[in-house]
Amino acid sequence: MFSPWRAELSQILLALLLGAFLGQVTDHYAFAFWLSGMLYLLRHLVYAQRLLRWLRGGRVSELPQGDGIWEEIYYLIYRLRRRNKRRKKQLIRMLERFRTATAALPDATVVLGPRDEIDWFNEAAERMLGLRRGDIGQKIGNLLRYPRFTHYLRHADYQTTVGIPSPTVDNLQLEIRIVPYGEDLRLLVAQDVTQLRFMERVRTDFVANVSHELRTPLTVLKGYLETLNDTQGKIPEAYLKIFRRMEEQTVRMQSLVDGLLSLTRLESGAHPLPQKRVDVPALLKLICEEVKLLPEAIPAVELRLETNACLTGAEQELRSAFSNLVVNAVKYTPPQGRVTVRWRDEGEGVRLDVEDTGPGIAQEHLPRLTERFYRVDVEGSKNKSGSGLGLAIVRHVMVRHGAELKIASTLGKGSCFSCCFPGTRTLRDACPAPEVGCASAL
């Protein structure tokens, strides 16, 4: 039998013996057993009272004394309390370490509750966002009053970030990201990106200035080379060959400079996007007619206008983006291949597909294709003249129009570049109906 119970049984036996003894002496057995039973009960009440006192306020180490099952009960509760105490100490230590670590974080960190109320924040948040202890429980939107931030908070698109100036430190640029965690809790992290933004501006300004300064000498050089190339018979053929090469390279440099200037203009965001109606079907017809005029042999180009929808945006930018895609498709597809340009509805929005039966692009290149100067090193591609800026320009134009550029390609089969525009940019009634059959082949 379990030992505490053995001790308890001996206590019961003792009570019974006491009852028998008292009964013998007084000749009142019932009273004697009742009395010994009451004494046994009293013993339990005393131990229970000690336990209560100990649990209410006694130190864990001051374990009360008891016997029988009470000794075991006291010991088990003592072990439980000691374990709890140790766990509590560990938690406090961890919390302390967490507090020290977050306080040392250079980024402002704020814990937000389900109604955007502030639950907790670190020292950097006091410094960079101007939060005070009294702001706990206040809605963050009431304290950081920037339309961009309010929009970000309301739309809860946490894949993106939002940039705001610091409300307390002059010239400090912050980038805010919200990370959801747990149940309805969110962590707001504000990072100081002043230096980063400054470096970006220096880079953009440098590229813009250099490109701008190169324009004039290049135009002069090209003009002289054109004149030299036109002087037939006066210059030996060997020299003329050199001048022609020089002119080709000048044209290439000019297209690089123009591309860089366009990219800088798009990246800077200094020019707000015009909200004009752009007749895309007419634009695509024009682009497809223009590529037909290219001097080299080109594949068949089919234009399929399946919708008459138009867009709102910048006509020049859209023209440059669409033309880049069509020219690329024509450039990289062999003359016996086919290029299909398709304008169609997609849900609320519209979509342009430029599909070709060219050499295709390996999957590993696809994510990097829209980086500036990225060119795929495959036969028939790298040899073609190009700046590697075309797709970077397309991506920027799409971003400015709230559209998405999708690229699908299979090596040896062809590629499809798609521009997907949202419904908010689409105009359905304002454009003339497409031509008969909704499709035209050029």
Q: Which residues bind ligand ADP (CB under 6 A)?
A: 324, 328-329, 332, 356, 358-359, 361, 369, 374-376, 381, 386-391, 415
Angle 411-416-419 (CA atoms, 0-180°, nearest 5)?
A: 150
Which two tokens mark 253? 């440099």
122 vs 262, beta carbon nearer ligand ADP: 262
Q: Which is nearer to ligand ADP, 376 or 403 (CB)?
A: 376
Residue number, 140 or 339, with CB nearest to ligand ADP? 339
Q: Which residue's structure tokens are 């690229």? A: 407
Q: 218-228: buried (b, 16+ CB within 10 Å) or exposed (e) per residue? A: beebbeebeeb
Q: Would you state the structure tokens that stand for residue 171, as one six-digit string?
A: 């010239």
- Shortest CB 339 distance to ligand ADP, Å: 8
Q: From the CB of 374, what's the least distance to ligand ADP, in Å?
A: 6
Q: How far is the CB of 260 from ligand ADP (least distance, A)?
A: 12
Smallest gap from residue 341 Cβ to ligand ADP (A): 12
Q: Are 423 and 348 in contact (CB under 8 A)?
A: yes
In whole angstroms, how close is the CB of 335 to ligand ADP at the nearest point?
Answer: 14
CB of 439 to ligand ADP, least distance (A): 21
Output 175 or 404, the one with its CB closest to ligand ADP.
Answer: 404
Q: What is the DSSP string of 42-109?
A: HHHHHHHHHHHHHHHH--TT-PPP--THHHHHHHHHHHHHHHHHHHHHHHHHHHHHHHHHHHH-SSEE
Read off the amino acid at residue 274. Answer: P
Closer to ligand ADP by CB, 51 or 420: give it: 420
- Alpha carbons 73 and 69: distance in angstroms, whole number: 6
Of the candidates 165, 179, 177, 178, the one whose C-alpha atom is nearest the C-alpha of residue 128 is 165
Nearest CB to ligand ADP, comparing residues 264 and 324: 324
- Cβ distance 108 to 125 under 8 Å? yes
Q: Decide whether 109 or 324 has the Cβ nearer to ligand ADP.
A: 324
* Side-chain half-sphere exposure of 46, counting CA atoms within 13 A: 11
What's the min distance (Å) between Cβ of 291 and ligand ADP?
13
